[in-house]
Amino acid sequence: MKANKLTPNFEVKNIRETIEFYQNVLGFSLAMAVPETQDGIEQTLAEEREYVYALVSKDNVEMMFQRTDSFKEDVSLAKDISLGASVSFYMEIDGIDNFYSHIKNKGINPTELKTAWYGMREFYITDNNGYILGFAEKND
């Protein structure tokens, strides 16, 4: 087996609210969205439509979001599992000090920015769905 890429698919309650969080707080861009009718792929969210899926990206990171009903239908193993997970999604970034200030200015309450025992400067937040996101930079 050759592994090419890992893109997490998050089960979420509301696609539009999730996209707004990832765009406005974290600076991601919408790559594509699938409306509730599942009759095509869109590059922007239309005001009058509801969505079941979206893909966002920033630099080399992609994340997928899928509305709960659609997610549980497509991923049968998740049928009896509640939203959220006992996992954190850890991103290495450049410019952690400025990004930490940006997050705080957006009204998000991050953990303390600190250097971990393994040498990474890092902090954590929860997104609008309760998922834990970690951000880290190598400590030079």
SS3 97: helix
Strands ordered across the beta sheet of 132-138: 88-92, 132-138, 120-126, 114-115
Residue ranges, CATH 3.30.720.110, the chain: 84-140
Place of tokens 């400067």: 121
Higher-confidence residue of 52 and 78: namely 52
pLDDT at 87: 81
Closest CA to 131 of 54, 31, 18: 18
Higher-confidence residue of 40 and 83: namely 40
pLDDT at 59: 96
Q: How confident is the model at residue 88 (pLDDT cuts 50, 70, 90)?
A: confident
Domain 1-81 has CATH 3.40.50.1970: no
In sequence order, what are the residues at sequence separation of 6 or more whose Cβ sits closer than 8 angstroms to the Cβ of residue 103?
Answer: 25, 110, 123, 125
pLDDT tens-digit series, residues 2-50 = 868 889 999 999 999 999 999 999 999 999 999 999 999 999 999 999 9
Question: Domain 84-140 carries which CATH code?
Answer: 3.30.720.110
Read off the pTM.
0.88
DSSP 53-91: EEEEEETTEEEEEEEHHHHHHH-GGGTTPPS--S-EEEE
C-alpha 138/C-alpha 140 separation (Å) is 6
pLDDT tens-digit series, residues 54-66 = 999 999 999 999 9
Residue ranges, CATH 3.30.1900.10, the chain: 1-81
C-alpha 33/C-alpha 65 separation (Å) is 9
Place of tokens 């996209």: 19
SS3 52: strand
C-alpha 35/C-alpha 40 separation (Å) is 7
pLDDT tens-digit series, residues 89-137 = 999 999 999 999 999 999 999 999 999 998 999 999 999 998 999 999 9
